[in-house]
Chains A and B, each alone.
Chain A
Amino acid sequence: MTTDNYNTSRRAFLGLMAGGAALAASPRPAPAQPIDTRARIVIIGAGAGGTALANRLVRRLDGASITILDPSADHLYQPGLSLVAAGLKPASYVVSGTAEWLPSGVTLIAEAAAAIDPEARTVSTEGGQRLDYDFLVLAPGLVLDHDAIEGFSLDLVGQNGIGALYAGPDYAARTWQAASKFAEEGGVGVFTRPATEMKCAGAPLKHTFLIEDIATRTAGPGKHEMHYAAHDGNLFGVPIVSEKVRMLFQDRGIAAHYSHVLKAVDPGRKIATFATADGTTEMEYDYLHVIPPQRAPEVIRQSGLSWPDKWTDQGWVMADMKTLRHLRHPEIFALGDVAGVPKGKTAASVKWQVPVVEDHLVAAIAGREGTAVYDGYTSCPLITRVGRAMLVEFDYHNNLVPSFPGIIAPLEELWISWLMKEIALKATYNAMLRGKA
């Protein structure tokens, strides 16, 4: 071995390292030049949609006045609530600060919107401020109508076998208290969903599957009787997924009751009353999971921005299903749960909706027409056991649109899909909030 050779190798080694560094710093597509504008943009709601959009808009616009309204100091990672309600994560897993996700250059007003005047283009806040806008983005989420279920109130959650995981992180944790007691002691479990449009229609199924799995592993098989009450004739809105769930329910001994909508609860007698096609019927329970009807917030319903002829009891915004633009007021967009589109009340939908609203809003400011289209994409890592899930992705047309075709089968219960839910989903969600995914 000669010194010369050694030096050559060292040079080669340094070259290799330099090559690696160059690869890591490989050129990214140059971001579009920000547009100079004085546009006043008001975003109602700093949830998944409002926050992600704000982060993207500050990068696209220079000089715009962006105001975001949200009375809640806490930002909730709602896809995590199912995990909290199954004892897999603490309540704190889903909670962060609203303000910490917002970029500088955006004004956060910690108040709810009280009124919207789409003719005068103003939003009034609950504190009495009046905000004029050129563009308005409606992203306030939805409200859970617990009062619609007779005999039910949130104080009941966690006691006497009642769970309600949608109500927030603390209620999800209390739901686990009730569910774990059921898992240990056995008995009759009744799982419900509302007849309205709802946030993540997979979550009622996930809770059913998870509690069945945990219960069977905790107390052993044969000690639990499981019932799932579906609001119509299907277990899921996408027929092929519904069939798969029907088969899984059959395998797991979960009885499906179709066209059963929870109407009333008698917590003393532990009886749930359902409206069915043939009147009402009662079911006894030891554990009851309640998901109430869901509606657009009152301020949206009072503003005349809802669909006049669809979902009239729910009030979702009259938005174009492809552009999310209001059909009567083109300067108004709807994002997330509040949008009156056929599917899409999930964080995954929001992730795909935000770039569409961004495109059309920025194009409108620049005097162009936007081109981006939202085709109803949504995704549901449908957990079927602790450790397994089906990565179900679909669009407006009930087509499955797998992200990894041929690799991750959408209707197979897989560990990799569970890993995605456990590890990558919150990270992807957070990256989305920052406008980076």
Chain B
Amino acid sequence: MQDLTFETLIAVFEEIFGTALFWLMVVAAVAITAGYLYVLIRDREMSMRKFLLAQLSMPVGALVAVLIVMLATHSHLRDIGGPIDVVVLLGVAALGAVGMAILVYTLQSLFWPPSEEPPRS
């Protein structure tokens, strides 16, 4: 690989997803992350109740991410051939898990702010 610069990477991602979809995904990722930071700062605390559901959704996110990558690339778990493949697989799963957790936490916080949470017993 020659000249693997930030600009080249962007160009490659634009080609993979199409310019419009790629930037839409970037905007979505930035919006969700910004929403997450916003609710954290707004609430000044993490709601453990919401965090619990977010955590429970993590395996689902991990599985969905791995399944999407496998389906989109004609791949199967039997194709894991070396340590780097395990790292990539775990990376995909981790990204899916963290992404899902952030999404679930943010959505809960936006729709059910702390004032509407039932009091803790």
Give the B-binding residues of A (Cβ under 8 A).
1, 6, 9-10, 12-13, 16-17, 20, 26, 28, 88, 351-352, 355, 377, 385-388, 403-404, 407-409, 412-416, 418-419, 422-424, 426-428, 430-431, 434, 436-437
Contacts and interface: CB of A to CB of B under 8 A. Distances in A.
A10 B8 contact: no
B2 A436 contact: no
Given A10-B41, A28-B6, A424-B16, 10 more contacts: A1-B44, A6-B41, A13-B37, A387-B74, A387-B76, A387-B78, A415-B85, A416-B88, A418-B75, A419-B88
A428 B15 contact: yes
A414 B16 contact: no
Contacts of B14: 427, 431
B16 A423 contact: yes
B82 interface: yes
B1 interface: yes
B112 to A, nearest CB: 20
B37 A437 contact: no
Contacts of B24: none
Interface string B31-55: 0001001100100100000000000
Contact of A427 (B15, B76, B79, B88): B15
Given A387-B75, A387-B78, A388-B81, A436 B7 contact: yes
Query: Which of A404, A412, A431 gathers most chain B CB within 10 Å?
Result: A431
Interface of B: 1-3, 5-8, 11-16, 30, 34, 37-38, 41, 44, 69, 72-76, 78-82, 84-85, 88-89
Given A13-B38, A17-B34, A412 B82 contact: yes
Contacts of B76: 387
Given A13-B37, A13-B38, A403-B1, A386 B81 contact: no
Query: Which of B1, B44, B80, B88 gathers most chain A CB within 10 Å?
Result: B1
A9 to B, nearest CB: 5
Contact of B7 (A28, A404, A416): A28
Contacts of A412: 81-82
Given A10-B41, A13-B37, A437-B3, A423 B81 contact: no
B74 A431 contact: no
Query: Which of A351, A386, A407, A416 gathers most chain B CB within 10 Å?
Result: A416
A424 B82 CA distance: 20
A414 B15 contact: no
B70 to A, nearest CB: 9
Nearest to A385: B79
A426 B88 contact: no
Contacts, number: 93
A13 B41 contact: yes
A414 B83 CA distance: 9
B37 A422 contact: no
Contacts of B8: 431, 436-437
B24 to A, nearest CB: 16
A180 to B, nearest CB: 15
A384 B72 CA distance: 19
Contact of A415 (B38, B72, B79): B79
Nearest to B75: A387
A281 to B, nearest CB: 36
B12 A437 contact: yes
A408 B30 CA distance: 30
27 contacts: A6-B44, A12-B41, A13-B41, A352-B2, A386-B74, A387-B73, A387-B74, A388-B79, A388-B81, A414-B81, A414-B84, A415-B75, A415-B81, A418-B73, A418-B79, A422-B73, A422-B75, A423-B72, A423-B73, A424-B12, A427-B15, A427-B16, A428-B15, A431-B12, A431-B15, A436-B11, A437-B3
A414 B82 contact: yes
A428 B12 contact: yes
